[in-house]
Amino acid sequence: MARVTVYSTGICPICDKTKGLLKKWGIEYNEVRVDQDQAGLREFSQITNGARTVPQIIIDGKWIGSFSELTEMHMDDQLDDLMT
């Protein structure tokens, strides 16, 4: 089971970039398309305290933020245990 969830939409280039980096880094993730999944949208709103932009990333049930925070974590070697 993936420890990472990416909340995204189908028309978001940064979402695509985020998913591409996760794949490149060998990190499995679940994607929740908030533009197609009403339950996912409610979950997204709850877990991110009402964030209005995508992508938003959850690791081990904790909201870490968006693409910028993910890349910072990678640069600080904080994602090593997620890599397969």
Domain containing residue 15: CATH number:
3.40.30.10
pLDDT value at residue 84: 60
Q: Mean pLDDT score of the chain, rounded to an integer?
A: 94
Residues 14-31: what's their mean pLDDT?
96
Query: HSE on the CB side for 83, CA within 13 Å?
Result: 10
pLDDT value at residue 29: 97
The residue range of the domain holding 71 is 4-82
The count of domains in the chain is: 1
Contact indicator for 51, 41 with CB cutoff of 8 Å: no
